[in-house]
A and B are shown apart, each in its own frame.
Chain A
Amino acid sequence: MASYLIRRLALASLTLLLITFVVYALIRNMPGTPLTADPAMMDPSKQISPEEIDRLNRLYGLDKPWHVAYFSWLKNVVQLDFGRSISQNNAPVAELIRERVPATMLLSVSSLVLTYLLSIPLGLWSTVKSGTRTERTVSTVLYMLYSLPSFVAALFLQILLAVKLQWLPLYGMSSDNFETLSTVGKTWDVFLHALMPIICFTYGSLAYYSRFIRANMQEVVRQDYIRTARAKGVSPGVVVWRHAFRNTLIPLVTLIGLTLPSLLSGAVILEQIFTWPGMGRLYFEAIGRRDYDTIMGLTLMFSVLTLLGQLLADLLYAVVDPRVTYD
């Protein structure tokens, strides 16, 4: 086990090194630098003189070729210094990212919890009721939802719930008078703002997971041990829950590991539509501003989470399935 872990971690750090190298090369070769790509600099009165730009370039190390700059970035990261955002008044990147965590987690965690809470009963229900008319209708609706792109759904929901019915606020995370509200009022306000984004984050994975559970269940209920359980008079509920569902947990558990990066990654287009101050928006803004250190910090975080998630999935696999060992 230990040797397996060490091997996996070594391989992962090699991959990580390669990813950051490639991404650094890519973003440093995009035209423009943080000093020239800032929209505020477009104003002629605020433009900096070429000499000043030269000075700043030297100051921030932007005059060095990108491969040299990469290694100095790497050296800082190893010392846990993730750099500073030039376009945001030299704010530390770690701080910028930490600021966005709550907003992103609010959406991703509640959507994840909702997905599991709803998809498991839904998947089991459609296995039990397989073939009936209501089950087929529900499955068709779920399939359609699965194919509905989330940004299209987001725009449709905005038109329906915010513009036509005016039940929910159109975008943002809080109202203008947020500061004046009581604690309960604040929570309610954020809840109202978060409702549409959460729906958009949830429905797609809900459809995917319940279809996934149903497909796995249908494979399992054909097995001999299910027939045996039924034959010896176990009640249908216990058969489904204890005999069948527990055996579909293996693929489900591996999926949990793979959702790890999505907890923090946010979604660029959705956050853009709802002007939600999350990670995806930070990423998008950072790319637009050529904010190298922020892009690298976020890329590093996503890559670490992705690789960790894969490792976690493989390890969980061994936990839930005793036949799998890594010795």
Chain B
Amino acid sequence: MPEPTNNMMMEENDQASLGFWGEAWQRFRRRRLAMLALCFVVFMCLMAMFAPLIVGTKPIVCKYKGNIYFPCLGYYNRSWENPIFRKDRFRNRYPKNLKTKDPESWAFFPLVYQDPYRRVRDGEWEDRPGNPSGTDGSPSRLNWFGTNQQGYDVFAQMVHGTQIALSVGFVSMGIAGVIGLTIGALAGYLGGWVDVLLSRVIELVMCIPSLVLILALVAMLDDVTNFHLMAIVGCTSWTGIARLARAEFLKLKQMEFITAARAMGASRWRIMFRHVLRNSLAPVLVPITFGIAAAILIESGLSYLGFGASPPNPSWGTLLKSGRSTIQQTWWLIVFPGVAIFLTVLAYNLIGEGLQEATDPRLRQDSH
């Protein structure tokens, strides 16, 4: 728990005060919609983390030739799937192969037996037909959200695609936050020619059409991965944060507690990072939250345009793209991912707004 640095925030009675973040949390909790949105995001995070346990064709845990294995880890990283299965020529067809190659074996499969990266074939699972392909894959008992033209299950792709959407949002805004805060802090706190120079840089990046910047950077890469996308989105969307951080630093460095810290002999960097930064975090958090929503939009937009990560890439935008090509027949390829994108963006916007009202002291004075 960080010490409360801002006495303005402390309550005046003798009770131990909650500190700034504690109070902000209490305020945030009172907003029902924001809390609902937060629950939704937590739910999505859990879904992203445990996607291979929810839907997949690799057993969560199985016993094979006397050993216990966790083949579903292969969805996180190919090398985490035990090589024995490759050696025994399983070819990702676990249910039958386990039975024929070792009658003693047992396995727990994910809740839904479908795969985001390939088509489930006839009889892979006893008495189950394979996935339809082309434009016949409308939602059914086996394919809840239908299948795409290649016969990949849409539900499986969407659950695994949650990882992409959420990680793109978090990581790219993490990068943007670090860049924006550093540049804004240096410009605002040091002032003088540093400020003039950095302000020009901010203005420059703001004025360059972000699409050119992103598409040019994507085009320079041979094999685009989601990490590239995160880095690129992060490196192009920090300007708003930098401007806000600069304004906060300009304002805060005039406050009494900074003068006090300086009088006590604190070094410039210590004041900047321990005293000013901590107090400017709350306002900066708001554009970061809105930025996560924007980053998710950029990623799905890029995937829609065909500039996303190289295939196989079960991103929501890729689903939309394949849905657009056969829009006359395959409504399910558009409706389900579209709703997912909408709900995620809505949730982050609601959280951002909740944060804004919970941390903005101007709005607080009104309510007292």
Chain A interface residues (CB < 8 Å from chain B): 14-15, 18-19, 22-23, 26-27, 29-32, 143-144, 146-149, 151-152, 155-156, 158-159, 163-164, 170, 265, 268-269, 272-273, 283-284, 287, 295, 299, 302-303, 306-307
Contact = CB atoms under 8 A, between A and B. Distances in A.
Contacts of B212: 23, 26-27, 283, 287, 295, 299
Given A18-B204, A152-B341, A299 B215 contact: no
B220 A269 contact: no
Contacts of B208: 19, 22-23, 299, 303
B323 A155 contact: yes
B211 A163 contact: no
A284 B334 contact: no
A156 B334 contact: yes
B346 interface: yes
B349 interface: yes
Given A155-B320, A163-B328, A269-B301, A148 B203 contact: no
Interface in B290-338: 293, 297, 300-301, 304-305, 320, 323-324, 327-328, 331, 334-335, 338
Nearest to A32: B219
Contact of B342 (A29, A31, A152): A152
6 contacts: A14-B200, A15-B203, A156-B334, A156-B335, A265-B209, A269-B304
A18 B222 CA distance: 28
Contacts of B213: 26
A31 B220 contact: yes
Contacts of B341: 149, 152
Contacts of A14: 200
B219 A22 contact: no
B305 A269 contact: yes
The residue in B207, B320, B328, B341 that gathers the most chain A C-beta atoms within 10 A of its C-beta is B207
Interface residues of B, number: 34
A285 B327 CA distance: 22
A307 B209 CA distance: 12
Contact of A159 (B216, B293, B327, B346): B327
B211 A268 contact: yes
Contacts of B328: 163
B76 to A, nearest CB: 29
A163 B327 contact: yes
B338 A156 contact: yes
Nearest to A14: B200
A19 B207 contact: yes
B204 to A, nearest CB: 5
Interface of B: 200, 203-204, 207-209, 211-213, 215-217, 219-220, 293, 297, 300-301, 304-305, 320, 323-324, 327-328, 331, 334-335, 338, 341-342, 345-346, 349
Contacts of A23: 208-209, 212, 216
A146 B349 contact: yes
B209 A299 contact: yes
Contacts of A146: 349
A149 B203 contact: no
A159 B331 contact: yes
Contacts of B320: 151-152, 155
Given A29-B220, A152-B341, A163-B327, A15 B211 contact: no
Contacts of A159: 327, 331, 334-335
A28 to B, nearest CB: 10
Contacts of A147: 293, 342, 345-346, 349
Given A22-B208, A163-B328, A31 B219 contact: yes
Nearest to B334: A155
A148 B345 CA distance: 7
B9 to A, nearest CB: 24
A27 B214 CA distance: 11
B17 to A, nearest CB: 30
Contacts of A18: 200, 204
A163 B354 CA distance: 38
A121 to B, nearest CB: 24
Given A18-B200, A159-B335, 4 more contacts: A27-B212, A31-B220, A32-B219, A283-B209
B305 A284 contact: yes
Contacts of A27: 212, 216
A201 B213 CA distance: 23
A152 B217 CA distance: 25
Contact of A144 (B215, B220, B304, B346): B346
B324 A273 contact: yes
A15 B327 contact: no
Across the A-B interface, the 4 shortest Cβ-Cβ residue pairs: A147-B346, A26-B216, A152-B338, A30-B219
Contacts of A164: 331
Contacts of B305: 268-269, 272, 284
Given A15-B204, A31-B219, A269-B304, A149 B334 contact: no
A149 B345 contact: yes
Nearest to B320: A155
B173 to A, nearest CB: 17
A12 to B, nearest CB: 10
Contacts of A26: 212-213, 216-217
A7 to B, nearest CB: 13
A287 B341 CA distance: 27
Nearest to A27: B216
B335 A283 contact: no
A299 B203 CA distance: 15
A134 to B, nearest CB: 19
B324 A15 contact: no
A152 B204 CA distance: 30
A284 B207 CA distance: 18
A303 B355 CA distance: 33
A293 to B, nearest CB: 14
Contacts of A284: 305
